[in-house]
Structure 1
């Protein structure tokens, strides 16, 4: 068993197949299959379940993936410390963030971080859908809301609230909703998260959660597109205050139903439960956390 074989195993998991992993590492399919067989023989267990169309981890494979990621992180940390000293960080960082927040706030932070650390490279996955950090080989993600996976660790950044808003032109043509029930008469621009469409919007009425099913002719899995459609006057949208604060301040969008806001949820950085994070990953997590905390958007506060 070698660290190279563990790294190959993680690449197979990340790419979803032996051939794809081989192409990434410049190995033939036969070589990848042979080295996987060596690993399975070493551990005396089947690590992957393979069909003609899919690949999934066995229980033993998931345990090895978690442990391999931890071992490789520790080995990388040791090599970096010895080769480059304690003051320099290097290597690839893979992270994920929501589309709007990523483009408007995370990317400028990454640009400054890369300028300060020329030996670091970044692989950024901007998506509003679910990301499996372990299986996709992502070091950390910036996420809204509570953790669905309780095995992940988290670092709080700040508070977030949802805002129902529309362009002034849309409200002039269609009127302004005064109660959540009024949304049934409006065009609502809806987000898709994977296979789930967010047609149920939550409010707070008389201190109780109040859910409304909304309708609309536009659905998208891209938060940036939802915001743009809203700016173009195509309907109401339900967005994070982090994404639309500048539009609200500039008057491009108008918040509606502020008295029925459901309250605040967390904005946080989440990462796999490894015992050692590479110094470059820790440094970027700390940088993003501190810079976003300084620009934390609170209700009633302008940027």
Structure 2
């Protein structure tokens, strides 16, 4: 229909079917057929033609005015969409774990926005998995393998979850030497949705060894868990990405390292899409690259 409207306006501008056909590379028969199709679609005669002249009917004049507006809007829409896939501008929506998001992802986002002022970013910090498609999110930074096989993934690096506590807590309560010793300690528990993570897994003699832990503090926010651990409130299980700086500075101490569970992954997941806006792919590239660099430095 848009092509036929372009032809219709060309006929008016060139004052003839043959001239319009030559401009658009169409045969006279094709021009006549497409004009007839346009008139059939609207159910009206759009122009009267003689061997020497061409004039618009009232319906033709109305269509000519509307076609000019419609084609201009279509060009603008196409430019905005195509430009959006090339220019780094527009909105990006993502989600990330609380601690990792606050400490590592947000600084990358700040630098990205500073470099690309036409970009806006909406980030949801949560330690729960979010339905990307249902929530209209462009991508997520996540620990562990994706449970949704339809999502595409980009590996950032390995992740290891460890048990740690403050030196003050260990001085007051002793250092656990075996996973079973945790049953005598106050453990800080993470809650995912409605379920607290009470079963902590380890490797003992090459086999998985689960321990049911207890504690007086449970939260669904990883940042709060780390804060309680730093305050000497108990032992917590955290990703090494979240506590590496605290371990390096001696604010937290890893325990039970010989029994550490198997490593998993840190990755970016995103819905499959034929064409990903450049603003989204550029931010994914920035996060993946800069987090990898930070990890190698750590």
Same fold (TM over 0.5): yes
- Higher helix proportion: 2
8 Å contact kept, 2:151–2:269:
yes
Q: Deviations over 1:112-152 (max 9, x none)?
A: 00001011000000000120000000000000001111111
Q: Secondary structure at the match of 2:168?
A: helix
Shift of 1:278: 0.9
Distance 1:79 1:233, change over 3 A: farther
Structure 1: how far apart are the matches of 2:115 and 2:103? 20
Shift of 1:78: 5.7
Aligned to 1:124: 123
Distance 1:85 1:145, change over 3 A: closer
Structure 1: how far apart are the matches of 2:250 and 2:109? 29
Verify: 1:161 aligned to 2:160, yes or no.
Answer: yes
Q: Secondary structure at the match of 1:122?
A: strand
Aligned to 1:240: 239
Distance 1:285 1:84, change over 3 A: closer
Shift of 1:89: 1.2
Shift of 1:79: 3.8
Aligned to 2:184: 185
Aligned to 1:266: 265
Verify: 1:111 aligned to 2:132, yes or no.
Answer: no
> Which structure's CA Rg is the greater one?
2
TM-score computed with the length of structure 2 as normaliser: 0.72
Structure 1 runs of 4+ off > 6 angstroms?
Answer: none
When the two structures are aligned, how many residues end up with a matched partner?
224
Distance 1:107 1:77, change over 3 A: farther
TM-score computed with the length of structure 1 as normaliser: 0.71
Aligned to 1:5: none
Aligned to 1:146: 145
Verify: 1:296 aligned to 2:275, yes or no.
Answer: no
Aligned to 1:226: 225
Verify: 1:213 aligned to 2:212, yes or no.
Answer: yes
8 Å contact kept, 1:80–1:89:
no
Q: Deviations over 1:154-193 (max 9, x none)?
A: 0000001011000000000000000000000000000001
Distance 1:91 1:164, change over 3 A: same
Shift of 1:82: 4.6
Structure 2: how far apart are the matches of 1:135 and 1:252? 40
Q: Identify unmatched segments of 5+ residues in structure 2.
A: 1-75
Aligned residues: CA RMSD: 1.9
